[in-house]
Structure 1
Amino acid sequence: MQNKHIIRDRCILLVLLLIFSIGTYSLFGNNKTINFLELADYQHRVKGQVKDSNGIPIPGVNVEIKGTSYGTFTDKEGYFYVDAAPTDVLILSYIGFKPLEVTVGTSKELSLALEEDVTNLEAVTVNAGYYTVKERERTGSIAKVTSEEIELQPIVSPLQSLEGRMAGVEVEQGSGITGLAPTIRIRGQNSLRNSRNDNGNYPLYIIDGIPIVSAPIQSPGTLTITGLDPLSTLNLNNIESIEVLKDADATAIYGSRGANGVVLITSKKGKLNQGKSSLEINMYSGISEVSNKMKLLNTRQYISMRKQAFENDGVIPTETNAPDLMVWDQNRYTDWQDVLFGGTAFANNINMAISSGNENTTYRIGGSYNKLGSVFPGDFDYNKLTANVNFSHKSDNNRFQLSFSANYGVDNNKVFNGANFVNYALSVPPNAPPIYKDDGSLNWENWTVDNPLAVLKQPQDIKTDNLLTNLNISYGIIKGLRFKISTGFSKLDNEDGIKYYKERYNPNRWERIKLGVNQNYSKRRSWILEPQIIFNQTYGKINIDALMGGTFQDNKSNFLSITANGYPDKSLMSNLNAAEEVRITNDANIHYRYAALFGRMGLNWYKKYFLNITGRRDGSSRFGSDRRFSNFWAIGGAWIFSGEKVIEENISFLSFGKLRASYGTTGSDQIPDYGFLDTYEATEGIGGLYPTQLFNPDYSWEVNKKIEASLQLGFLNDHFNMEVSWYRNRSSNQLVGYPLPAITGFTSVQANLPALVQNSGWEVLLNSMNLSSKNFSWQTSINMTIPKNKLLEFDNIDDTSYASQYRVGHPLNISFFYQYDGINQETGFYQIVDANEDGRYNNDDRVVIKNMGREYYGGINNHIRYKGLSLQFLFEYIKQFNGSHIFRATPPGFSGNKPVEFLEAWERPGDNENIQKVSQSFLAIDPFYNTANSTMGIEDASFLRLKNISLSYRLPKHILKKINVKSGQIYVHAQNLFTITSYKGLDPQGGSGVVPPLRTITCGIKVTL
């Protein structure tokens, strides 16, 4: 009976539970109601697929339910299946990618994308030009900076973002003038040609697969004499990455074009976003000012020095020989540095981009506007407007793929021609007359030289527009075999005009002045076509990655220079027909053609042993018909020895170890076009011709042989990484002008000189994850380069004009100096050593050879994160010498302001000073300027500069959700904040004759909607 009661009670309890389950149950605290009729669906099966940022499925991803031990892995197509509740959180993790947490929700099918972890060697992908490779597996020397390091910087040229960030890459802006071409050298100077119009050291620039002319755009202005930057019209916010290829393994596939290294610029692409559009907005505003000024004499000190000069010389000052003492106000003081380049420049930038994409199609459309002011008086603003589009599509089975990109930029740069404001600022006496009259016109009264602001009446206006387009189409023929064709077109137009108003000159000359214009037009057109066959297949433990293709490239350049004079009025100076006289001073049309066949084979065995073989046969129209083709090749290999069993078992702290080496040849055809032809020009008058160039079809390619060895180590799960590389490049068959006797009627003929230039050195990279936790991380990156440049061979150099420039066994960037011999205690003037004791001072007495290049250089970059806060700062350091700031001035005692060091001038025998006697006698001139070219005239210009520092804050998710914003970031960025140096001039890099780099501080916001 008791058992019957127990059975009955249990039956009643089951019925009650069933009835209770049919009803609803209210959860205390949140009033949430769960219908237990849906209990069967509460724990439901979820199907998901995991892909990377490029939409490629990822197999082997670990998928776990948070807080449990239950999980699974994705299959070879990236799919997984898991039973989970709507409130469960899935945790996805895979080596090389950032972990992802996602709430299951009510969806039964999920499409997820993992973001690559850029701090992981396995995940970082670098662009090698015709192919991509994992950082872990590369056999060549490739350096990379990403958009995170580029887009927030208030700069114009993308090359400026490389300063201090890459080993083996020298980038120097050299001046604070916006739009000028930076100087870039990749592992040193290879060619003896190093002048403005004939430079054989430019690297190859490639933007989204399109090569562009690397040479700066010619400009007639004195401040733009170095040329304008052909990359200035690019939108920095649209750059995804910049890779620099350095060694033979990385550059040989570009053949002759890669002799001086390759700079690859890759634009941003649309990202997989399930078809939803996102709008990115990045804008900042800021101010800039000159980062340094020289210490000059004030009025009291200047007048005292000038009076002492007359007293020492026994000369009475008059209104003629000393207007600064007899005519000008003795109490007036003007800080000309503050007046002429001490202004505040304003910077404004706004960038917008809309992007979207699904599994088949992605796109990104963007544009930007950038305005930078000037520290000079007058209207010298720089304005840039850009637009860009990127479109990608692939078929469902991935056999057909298409991508198209276009970048268009227009900039307008207003600079000034004529005398340099910097030279005026450092030399005009501090008590010089006022610049303006009471009526606002320029004051010319009592000025012994030009009014410093007269150059404002000689404006230079530069307009450039640049279009780059690229189309890639590929089709998978069979598994592992794909045909690809890449084509591109580039167009660059530049208009550079200088107007000469009569107000530029003293009114006393206006009757003789004619209004004039100097107008220059540059046009560059280029197209390229590259068909390729790409093969990628795995056989057991061996992967073969190969390609074969061809290049057909056509460049046309036009340069026209026109001078017009005699305009009746300023308003007509834009119309050449209104001028009395119009002359064409330069009209050049250049057509360059290039063709090549290239191939590459990469072998990957067990993911531990790597071999990369590249070859290219180049043809260039810059050589004679029998010399146009040449072959270039390279072989590179790597061994990841940390994957060996004996290493894994015995050296547990070593997480990564790789040895790599490469050897190969690249070439160069960076010489003027048509140099092998004999050319003629028409004589003035009728029917005459005269020769301008000699015929020589026998010269051929420069050859650069490169060798490199490198060791990469990673410790403690890659928390500490180190790479040490040694390289040696030897450039032979130098293409320069071969000097000829004047009796031939020509000074030189294009030829191959028997000279051999060597660049070697050490590069060290250190990366350390100092601290890492959920809310805090601190990462440090250090790079250092110790370069050695040397002219190894140059047969019979003493019989050529190059004997005054180079010495065998010494670097190319040397200078020859007299030996300084102190101050003559009898005269009080500088003296130098007459080395050959012939009683004269000439080149034979310049016996001291000094390397004026960098002895070593590098950068230290730190990145600290705390929750949403991020702090990054980069120090750049360079060991070098530069010309002494003392000799930028005239001799002590002469008219014109001077550095404060001139107060410590020699006065009497026995004085141990470094400044010669104050005097304005002509006897002081030669000793002063001879000493400027002596060992006294060079100064240690080494420096440590805080190049960049930025502080940003990512807005919390709960705030972003309220305002319907996907992501948000506010930031403050500073550039060239301070420099530690013993150099007393304006800038240790540019010297004392240029505007130093500007100190810039910007504040901005970046949001994604």
Structure 2
Amino acid sequence: MKNNNKRCPWVVPLFLLSCFLGLIQVQARTETKENKVQQLITGTVSDHQGLPLPGVNILIKGSHQGAMTNLEGEYGINASIGDTLSYSFIGYTTKILVVTQNFKGDVQLQQNADALSEVVINAGYYNTTERERTGNIAKVTAEEIELQPLVSPLQTLQGRMAGVEISPGNDLPGSAPTIRIRGQNSLRAEGNYPLYIIDGMPLNSSPLESNSNLSFTGIDPLSTLNVSNIESIEVLKDADATAIYGSRGANGVILITTKQGQSEKTEVQVQVYSGFSEVPNRIDLLHTEQYLQIRRRAFENDGTEPTQFNAYDLLVWDQERDTDWQEEILGGNAAVTNLNLTVTGGNQTTRYRLNGGFQEQGTVYPGDANYQKATGGLSVSHHSKDQKFKLQTAINSGLDNNKIVGNRSLVSSIFSLAPNAPAIFNEDGSLHWEEWIETGIDNPFNGYFNTSKIEASNLISNLSLSYELLKGLRLKTNLGYTNYNSEEIFKIPKRSYNPLYSEFLEAQSIHLLQKRNSWIVEPQLEYTTQLNKLQIESLIGSTFQKNQSRITEFTATGYVSESLIGNIAAAESLSDGRRQSTTYKYNALFARIGLNWDHKYLLNLTGRRDGSSRFGPGKRFANFGAIGAAWIFTEEGFMDHLDFLSFGKLRASYGSTGNDQIGDYGYLDAYEATPGAGGLYPVALANPDYSWEINKKLEAALQLGFLKERLNLNISWYRNRSSNQLVGLPLPGVTGFNSVQANLPATVENRGWELEFTSLNFQKKDFSWRTSVNLTFPENELVSYPNLEESPYANTYRIGEPLNIALLYQYEGINPETGFYEVADINGDGRFDYEDQVVVQNQNRQYYGGIQNQFTYKNFSLQFLWQFVKQEGRLTLFNTGSLGNSRAVVAEALTDNSTYQSISNSSESRRAYNYASASSLGYTDASFLRLKTLALNYNLPSAPLQKIGMRGAKLFLTGQNLFTFTDYQGMDPEVTNGTGASFSDLRTYSLGIQLNF
């Protein structure tokens, strides 16, 4: 039986607190052993503007003792007179100082003219720098994303990366966004998911199922992560960057690194913000007078008599009532609250970071839906005094509680409801039925009291161990485990529906339980050496991974009381439902050799042999690899006279990766139990011969830095070709099966240009201004598909066109005789079908990107991001004269020079409208420019705060989706699904404070 006890959201924080107390005891014991001859040196490390620098490494040369500055640039280290201290920080010149009797400890670092060599990039199994990377890797840091009031980490990337396209799932928290890294490679939707790596642990990226309003895109598997706890997100795009991940990296790799401890002293940070969200845009709709005028004109033009059945809005409903249904349905404010508590500390060899967070978001819809998330994180890093042994562990846990209103038609009701429609609710909050029943129709909020509650828990853990066997030779092991559990209860009470049918209805609940767990073991051997000017980095390792997933779904009916719905012990009957369990095993051997000659010529070779349990015997293993090369040509002597060009690099890569993102056991025959009979019947055909999709990637790029890297420009051209496409091949009905898994002889190509520009526009002591721009021109094409015309996809794809297309009728204008829309009958057979759909509409973005600016003035900083997209989208035309409201521009149909068809409610007008909606007339410019993010921060003066025991404090104001400039007449140009009444992200305002102790 199901346990109805609610999960305690404080289990994880209490567990983490106990771990923290244990670490404090370890720290205290260690500190008592310190050499008493040394003296404690304290101070602050700042930049050339006098602003504190957090994360600066301080090391006593000739020893393994060190420290790191905290968030306020402060540090403390035990050293003796005569010791040499080294201060190093990314992007700044390392400073060397000798400890003297009068040494004060305050240090100022100067910005490094060659800052690119200091920017560390996480490439997955190894680290590189911005200067010497051979692959295409994009990165965002905590500074850009940590204060954004968002649920999914992927949403923070919108507009920030070239080649990375993210479309929100819907407006509900927890919905899975769609992410495409350099386009769509596979004909299957599930074959385009990238690989998620959280602190070295791979995570299943496919969305989870739902019976709620999240069912369209599914539940985001990353929703349980705390955005404020993320240190950086790197996206690996080309073959050189992704090939070391083999088949798992076919569609790109997203590396998420959580924050680590940075200080030896115990420090506490409290971060709180609160705000609200609202629908960012409204549509101008007809008011009652206009609406009724158009409706009456329709009956006049048609020569028909209105009755209470075909014109209840004219004859039955109140002619003076004028309801703004957008305000009624979407007019609420969704409260947003977020709380984070962080404790860091440690000693010279061990550092830890403990984090706990709580997030809550309400809803703009009527009802009491809300989303709550509690998270906890623990990271510990340790090394021996001789630096030979190193340990790094990260544990991230999250609990989601998502309560969703169960009616899926609320937004569509904006257009389906006439402005003079009766009230939806009675004064006591129950659904109003009388006036609706009189007209023979249901209340459009039919099903409103249905609710869905999703409780999910997720654990992501990783442990990395390494030991230096010999100089330059290090043995490493990466261990990881994930465990995801969710329980969804969809409750359907009788009061949600028409009381006339209550005697035929039963209260019921639909239960959906999902479990995912996985483990991974990756032993590795790493060797680094220097031979004169040649630096060699080599890596060999293997991967052993196992994923298990289970889904259980059933329906309980016959509850005698609404309060008992969901308690299956109180149900009269349970359905057989479905039980599904799958296991996926993955083994691989991988290797890398990186050659660096004089920091001028770079070569990177990677290879991997993959084995997947999703293919039949003889097809399970495949080899993948890549080569990447770069030439830093500004290191050549002939470039010395070009003083304005401070950095120049050419790079290129080529390689292949596989793709096994299909269902498990597809190569076997499948059977299901015969209901009630105890037998089996076949449901899927075996095909042991299908194998890997192959993705071949080619890239060339130019990277330039001007004026000592104050200006930086990256230009990349790429071409990815995915062949041997894996799909379910439809079969004739006489076979008894719908499809069989097979490789199709189709090739999909994604190519394009990516431009990235950064500049330091102005920098003085009190003021600085930085700008970054990214721009992507993508192209997607079905290059080849033998015998496409004879395949089941003849009416879905076109050779030489993108995969994401719409096949439309050719719009001919308004017929002068009928006054209705008209489309072309291409073959002249007197009917309209797929043979007449000759217009190919590209539904992909023509280009997209973002513009980000960051200003600092003394203790103030301002950051804002503009997102822009060039595209076309679908928009409902509206049949003038039919029941239901329309955009206000439809009132033009009352004039003589209307671009709309004649006002009518006849079957001929509806048929003409349907054909026109499926023609080129139904598409319009949906380009937009959006102020995606705005953040204003103020650091309070530190001197008064230190008097009360605080290290620092910061006030911050953030906004999301504040303004959108577009010619699109729907609610949101980012969601152009036809009605124009859908939207994705809400406009959010939040105000917060951060306190450091």
Q: Could you state the TM-score of these two structures normalised by the residue count of structure 2? A: 0.90
For 1:549-568, what aligned pairs fall within 5 Å after superposition?
549-568=541-560
Task: Please say if 1:162 is aligned against 2:166.
Answer: no
One-letter amino acid of the counterpart of residue 775, structure 1 = D
Match of 1:401 in 2: 390
Match of 1:415 in 2: 404
Contact 2:90 2:119 in 1 (8 A): no
Q: Which moved more, 1:154-163 or 1:534-543?
A: 534-543
Which of 212, 216, 221 is residue 225 of structure 1 equivalent to? 216
Match of 2:731 in 1: 740
Match of 1:14 in 2: none
In 2: Cα distance, 1:229 partner to 1:866 partner = 38
In 1: Cα distance, 2:449 partner to 2:315 partner = 30
Aligned CA distance change for structure 1 residues 115 and 688 (closer, same or farther; 3 Å): farther
Per the TM alignment, residue 174 of structure 1 is displaced from its structure 2 partner at its CA by: 4.3
Match of 1:704 in 2: 695
SS at match of 1:902: helix
Match of 1:641 in 2: 633
Match of 2:721 in 1: 730
Contact 1:521 1:561 in 2 (8 A): yes
Per the TM alignment, residue 402 of structure 1 is displaced from its structure 2 partner at its CA by: 0.8
SS at match of 1:528: strand
In 1: Cα distance, 2:183 partner to 2:154 partner = 16
Contact 2:876 2:917 in 1 (8 A): no
Match of 1:187 in 2: 182
For 1:363-442, what aligned pairs fall within 5 Å after superposition?
363-442=352-431
In 2: Cα distance, 1:682 partner to 1:579 partner = 24
Which of 291, 301, 306 is residue 290 of structure 2 equivalent to? 301
Task: Please say if 1:695 is aligned against 2:686.
Answer: yes
For 1:32-431, what aligned pairs fall within 5 Å after superposition?
53=55, 57=59, 96-97=91-92, 120-194=115-189, 199-271=190-262, 273=263, 275-431=264-420
Aligned CA distance change for structure 1 residues 102 and 1007 (closer, same or farther; 3 Å): farther
Q: Deviations over 1:772-817 (max 9, x none)?
A: 1111111100000000100101011111111111111111111111
Per the TM alignment, residue 1004 of structure 1 is displaced from its structure 2 partner at its CA by: 0.7
In 1: Cα distance, 2:106 partner to 2:856 partner = 30
In 2: Cα distance, 1:183 partner to 1:369 partner = 25
Match of 2:13 in 1: none
Aligned CA distance change for structure 1 residues 643 and 570 (closer, same or farther; 3 Å): same
Which of 989, 996, 1000 is residue 988 of structure 2 equivalent to? 1000
Contact 2:294 2:894 in 1 (8 A): no
In 1: Cα distance, 2:158 partner to 2:306 partner = 51
Q: Which moved more, 1:971-980 or 1:318-327?
A: 318-327
In 2: Cα distance, 1:619 partner to 1:692 partner = 27
Q: Deviations over 1:193-215 (max 9, x none)?
A: 12xxxx10000001011111100
One-letter amino acid of the counterpart of residue 720, structure 1 = L
For 1:423-822, what aligned pairs fall within 5 Å after superposition?
423-447=412-436, 448=439, 449-648=441-640, 650-822=641-813
Q: Deviations over 1:845-891 (max 9, x none)?
A: 0001011001000000000111111011100000111111434xxx2
Per the TM alignment, residue 111 of structure 1 is displaced from its structure 2 partner at its CA by: 11
In 2: Cα distance, 1:138 partner to 1:380 partner = 47
Aligned CA distance change for structure 1 residues 94 and 439 (closer, same or farther; 3 Å): closer
SS at match of 1:801: coil
Task: Please say if 1:892 is aligned against 2:880.
Answer: yes
Q: Which moved more, 1:46-55 or 1:524-533?
A: 46-55
Higher CA-based Rg: 1
Contact 2:231 2:259 in 1 (8 A): yes
SS at match of 1:229: coil
Q: Which moved more, 1:370-379 or 1:892-901?
A: 892-901
Which of 921, 929, 933 is residue 948 of structure 1 equivalent to? 933
In 2: Cα distance, 1:277 partner to 1:515 partner = 55
Per the TM alignment, residue 894 of structure 1 is displaced from its structure 2 partner at its CA by: 1.2
One-letter amino acid of the counterpart of residue 184, structure 1 = I
In 2: Cα distance, 1:515 partner to 1:580 partner = 10
One-letter amino acid of the counterpart of residue 899, structure 1 = R
Aligned CA distance change for structure 1 residues 535 and 605 (closer, same or farther; 3 Å): same
Per the TM alignment, residue 690 of structure 1 is displaced from its structure 2 partner at its CA by: 1.9
Contact 2:82 2:99 in 1 (8 A): no
One-letter amino acid of the counterpart of residue 250, structure 1 = A
One-letter amino acid of the counterpart of residue 295, structure 2 = R
In 1: Cα distance, 2:642 partner to 2:973 partner = 46
Per the TM alignment, residue 996 of structure 1 is displaced from its structure 2 partner at its CA by: 3.9
Per the TM alignment, residue 93 of structure 1 is displaced from its structure 2 partner at its CA by: 8.0
Contact 1:117 1:124 in 2 (8 A): no
One-letter amino acid of the counterpart of residue 697, structure 2 = K
One-letter amino acid of the counterpart of residue 766, structure 2 = N
In 1: Cα distance, 2:54 partner to 2:297 partner = 77
Task: Please say if 1:938 is aligned against 2:929.
Answer: no
Aligned CA distance change for structure 1 residues 117 and 846 (closer, same or farther; 3 Å): farther
In 2: Cα distance, 1:380 partner to 1:420 partner = 15
In 1: Cα distance, 2:585 partner to 2:347 partner = 40
The percentage of aligned residue pairs carrying the same residue is 51
Task: Please say if 1:961 is aligned against 2:946.
Answer: yes
Per the TM alignment, residue 399 of structure 1 is displaced from its structure 2 partner at its CA by: 0.6
In 2: Cα distance, 1:403 partner to 1:47 partner = 27
In 2: Cα distance, 1:664 partner to 1:822 partner = 50
Give the root-mean-square deviation of aligned CA atoms: 2.7
In 1: Cα distance, 2:570 partner to 2:854 partner = 60
Aligned CA distance change for structure 1 residues 155 and 493 (closer, same or farther; 3 Å): same
Match of 1:3 in 2: none
Per the TM alignment, residue 105 of structure 1 is displaced from its structure 2 partner at its CA by: 9.1
Gaps of 5+ in 1: 1-43, 61-77, 85-89
Per the TM alignment, residue 314 of structure 1 is displaced from its structure 2 partner at its CA by: 1.4
One-letter amino acid of the counterpart of residue 832, structure 2 = Y
In 1: Cα distance, 2:775 partner to 2:932 partner = 16
In 2: Cα distance, 1:317 partner to 1:466 partner = 58
SS at match of 2:415: helix
Q: Could you state the TM-score of these two structures normalised by the residue count of structure 1? A: 0.89
SS at match of 1:983: coil
Contact 1:598 1:617 in 2 (8 A): yes
Per the TM alignment, residue 117 of structure 1 is displaced from its structure 2 partner at its CA by: 7.5
One-letter amino acid of the counterpart of residue 628, structure 1 = R
Per the TM alignment, residue 418 of structure 1 is displaced from its structure 2 partner at its CA by: 3.3
SS at match of 1:591: strand
Aligned CA distance change for structure 1 residues 101 and 614 (closer, same or farther; 3 Å): closer
Per the TM alignment, residue 662 of structure 1 is displaced from its structure 2 partner at its CA by: 0.4
Match of 2:5 in 1: none
Per the TM alignment, residue 625 of structure 1 is displaced from its structure 2 partner at its CA by: 1.1
In 1: Cα distance, 2:584 partner to 2:677 partner = 32
One-letter amino acid of the counterpart of residue 883, structure 2 = S
Q: Deviations over 1:436-456 (max 9, x none)?
A: 224443211122543344433
One-letter amino acid of the counterpart of residue 290, structure 2 = Q
One-letter amino acid of the counterpart of residue 578, structure 1 = A
Aligned CA distance change for structure 1 residues 168 and 46 (closer, same or farther; 3 Å): closer
Per the TM alignment, residue 83 of structure 1 is displaced from its structure 2 partner at its CA by: 11
Contact 2:196 2:203 in 1 (8 A): yes
In 2: Cα distance, 1:58 partner to 1:614 partner = 37
Per the TM alignment, residue 116 of structure 1 is displaced from its structure 2 partner at its CA by: 9.0
Aligned CA distance change for structure 1 residues 478 and 461 (closer, same or farther; 3 Å): same
